[in-house]
Chain A
Amino acid sequence: MSNLDWIIAKLQAIENEKFLIFKGEAYSYYHLVKSIERWRNRLKRLAVVEGECIAVIGDYSPNIIFLLLALLLNNNIVVPIGKESEEKRTEMFSVAKVNKYFEFNDEDNWTFCEGSPESKQPLLDELRAGHESGIVIFTSGTSGKSKAAILQTSKLIEKYKTARRKPFRTLIFLKLDHIGGINTLFSIMFNGGTIVTAQGRTPQTVCEAIQRYRVQLLPTTPTFLNMLIMSKAYDKYDLSSLQIITYGTEPMPESTLLTTHEVFPQVTLKQTYGLTELGIFSTKSRDSHSKWMKVGGQGTEIKIVDNILWVRSKAAMLGYLNAPSPFDKEGWYNTGDQVEVDGDGEYLKILGRKSEIINVGGEKVYPAEVESVLLEIPNIKDVLVSGKRNPITGQIVTATVVLQEPEDVNVLRKRIHDYCKNRLLPYKVPTLVVLSEKELVSERFKKIRS
Chain B
Amino acid sequence: MEQVKKVINNAIQQIQEQKSYPVANLRDDLRIIDDLGFSSLDIAQLIAYLEMELNVDPYANGALISSINTVESLYKLYQSCLDKRNSEVEDYE
Interface residues of A (CB under 8 A from B): 202-204, 223-224, 226-227, 229-233, 255-256, 259, 360-361, 388-393, 396, 398, 410, 413-414, 417, 426-427, 431-432, 434
Contacts and interface: CB of A to CB of B under 8 A. Distances in A.
Given A204-B34, A224-B40, A361-B40, A392 B47 contact: yes
Contacts of B24: none
A231 B65 CA distance: 10
B32 A230 contact: yes
Interface of B: 14, 17-19, 31-34, 40-41, 43-45, 47-49, 52, 59-60, 64-66, 68-69
A414 B66 contact: no
Nearest to B17: A414
Question: Which of B19, B33, B44 is the most central at the interface, judged by chain A CB atoms within 10 Å of its CB?
Answer: B44
A230 B69 contact: yes
B59 A410 contact: no
A410 B65 CA distance: 27
A280 to B, nearest CB: 26
A203 B33 contact: yes
A270 B47 CA distance: 28
Given A255-B64, A410-B14, A417-B19, A227 B40 contact: yes
B52 A432 contact: yes
A256 B66 CA distance: 9
Contacts of B68: 230
B31 A390 contact: no
Given A229-B64, A259-B64, 13 more contacts: A224-B40, A226-B65, A231-B31, A231-B33, A232-B69, A255-B59, A360-B41, A393-B40, A413-B14, A413-B18, A427-B41, A431-B44, A431-B45
A417 B68 CA distance: 26
